[in-house]
A and B are shown apart, each in its own frame.
Chain A
Amino acid sequence: MAVVNEGALKKMLSKQYKYRDLTVREINNVIFHYKDLKPVMDAYVFNDGSSRELMSLAGTVPVSYRGNVYNIPICLWLLDSYPYNPPICFVKPTSTMMIKTGKHIDANGKIYLPYLHEWKHPQSDLYSLIQVMIVVFGEEPPVFSRPTTQPPFQPFQA
């Protein structure tokens, strides 16, 4: 696991994040508890086609479903106004997975939760959000494994 120290994190966020210290503190708390999430600066493409370098937390979270634990791949994008706006959250299916749309997930994998809708700093934070996701996904997983490829149908030949 790549170790991202606080200085490096602050440097990554220095250009545009208005509440950098708050954001760094929250990211550190999350990556301390969820070792399979890591902070990554990457280009986020908005609905209007514009893109911006934003901080994301990408990786997997452990979700318990029917007695087994699955590492569900997610990506949380932090706007430069974070924590005064909620993160934009997606499930990121691998090629062997398919999205299960529902009231919490759309066809693009975007995650909708009351916790995000009602986001308000400082009552809301990334660590609690992830805990909520883990509970919700444990009841309704956002991804399932794709069916294994069936052998091609062989027409009967006399």
Chain B
Amino acid sequence: LNGGAVPSAPPTYT
């Protein structure tokens, strides 16, 4: 792995 940031997203849109 290249050590890039782990993708993340805001909590579920409601």
Contacts and interface: CB of A to CB of B under 8 A. Distances in A.
Interface residues on B, range: 10 to 19
A1 B5 CA distance: 10
A92 B8 CA distance: 11
Interface string A70-87: 111100000000000000
A38 interface: yes
Contacts of A146: 12
Nearest to A92: B7
Contact of A145 (B2, B3, B4, B11): B11
Contacts of B10: 65-66, 68, 70, 141, 143-145
Given A1-B2, A2-B2, A38-B2, A97 B13 contact: no
A36 interface: yes
Contacts of A36: 4-5
Contacts of A96: 9
B5 to A, nearest CB: 4
18 contacts: A1-B2, A1-B4, A2-B2, A35-B4, A59-B5, A60-B7, A70-B9, A72-B7, A73-B7, A92-B7, A93-B9, A97-B7, A97-B9, A141-B10, A141-B13, A144-B11, A144-B12, A145-B9
Interface of A: 1-2, 35-36, 38, 59-60, 62, 65-66, 68, 70-73, 92-94, 96-97, 100, 141, 143-147
